A = this chain, B = another copy of it.
């Protein structure tokens, strides 16, 4: 029996203005969605909440075998469990073309991720085309023209993200992980010594010379200008001390500063300096767990610390406990390094993670502001990014958005991941191939 298509009205009402702004850490993403006969009413406080609601609405619509669209009556009151739901892409170990980043943002919106952590540069390459220091990418990118992100590319990423309610937090990781920086910025890295003579290789950023801080200040000023988000990730992880130790100027500086033989103090001195710079630029800095592990930097601006997998035999729960006890806001990433693939349904491991399941007070638990999925780039480029990322990342996204008690059973999440796979991966990402 054929029946006349029914008109259907979706009305969206948003309490506050802000269509031309950027989502931030305080953005209210809650929404109410009411679907009844012939109409849907979506109410939210902000445009970001409206985007989340429209995403849910679109996922409620289904199509029958004859092409007609349907939606069931429903009442939804929805809001995120955590304010920070991030995804890290690493564009240094392998370059990711712009379209791969844009498609990732599309997929993120589907899963209500709201932070794109852009690990944009690292040892292998420096693809960010700086307006202040063009030689950084001219000499440090895999290719100076084809494997860079121009200013207009970066603007496009930020705008594409904004339209989906996603923040873009760039990471300029130092003082370690900076081999590629040294190619375009002479005298930035520490010359390593073999005995009394320079060995020809270079170590971390040289924290003993003024030129380093002048350079970092200019770079951070540019970063502030280019990236609107109030957070900047400063890295600070995995600094190897061997090269610093070999360098006579560094040793002299250590003595002068009274650091003794404790190179963690030198690292902290450096990190504190650039964190203070960042604060002076009215930006909140994020640093990796290491900066907390080595030395609790005094008087830093109190940005959240991102825990990362503990390579010292500790569990991340212990780390969460210690960091929050020290009053730090934290983001959980350790159990969500999903670049580490394995056979079968390994998304279940991500899903089983409970970010507040560590020993600590209620106050401590509140310091967990969210988490992020990391897709490090050692073995990932545009040819395998999507199948490694989706729908596996959705498991963490659901963990970070949804109520804990309603999402204890992974078997119930399975059909949602299947649907994501079918709709997003198959229909959208691979449309041209199918």
Binding site for B on A (CB under 8 A): 97, 99-100, 339-345, 378-379, 381-384, 386-388, 421, 425-426, 429-430, 432-434
Contacts and interface: CB of A to CB of B under 8 A. Distances in A.
A383 B429 contact: yes
A384 B344 CA distance: 13
Contacts of A99: 433-434
Contacts of A388: 387
A382 B343 contact: no
A391 to B, nearest CB: 10
A387 B429 CA distance: 14
Given A97-B434, A432-B432, A344 B383 contact: no
Contact of A434 (B341, B382, B433): B382
A339 B378 CA distance: 20
Contacts of A345: 379
A344 B376 CA distance: 12
Contacts of A432: 432-433
A383 B425 contact: yes
A343 B378 CA distance: 10
Given A99-B433, A340-B343, A344-B379, 7 more contacts: A97-B434, A341-B341, A345-B379, A382-B433, A383-B421, A383-B430, A384-B387
Contacts of A382: 426, 430, 433-434
Contact of A426 (B378, B383, B426): B383
Contact of A387 (B343, B387, B421): B387
Copy tally for this chain in the complex stands at 2
A383 B421 CA distance: 9
A125 to B, nearest CB: 16
Contacts of A344: 378-379
Interface of A is mostly: loop
A261 B381 CA distance: 56
A340 B342 CA distance: 8
A214 to B, nearest CB: 36
A386 B383 contact: yes
A416 to B, nearest CB: 17
Nearest to A425: B383
Contact of A383 (B340, B343, B387): B387
A345 to B, nearest CB: 8
Nearest to A345: B379
Nearest to A385: B387
12 contacts: A99-B433, A99-B434, A341-B341, A342-B342, A344-B379, A382-B426, A382-B430, A382-B433, A383-B425, A383-B426, A384-B387, A432-B432
Of A100, A386, A430, chain B has the most CB atoms within 10 Å of the CB of: A430
A286 to B, nearest CB: 26
Given A386-B383, A432-B432, A343 B342 contact: yes
A388 B383 CA distance: 10
A306 to B, nearest CB: 21
Contacts of A434: 97, 99, 382
A344 B378 CA distance: 8
A421 B387 CA distance: 16
A284 B384 CA distance: 38
Contacts of A378: 344
A163 to B, nearest CB: 21
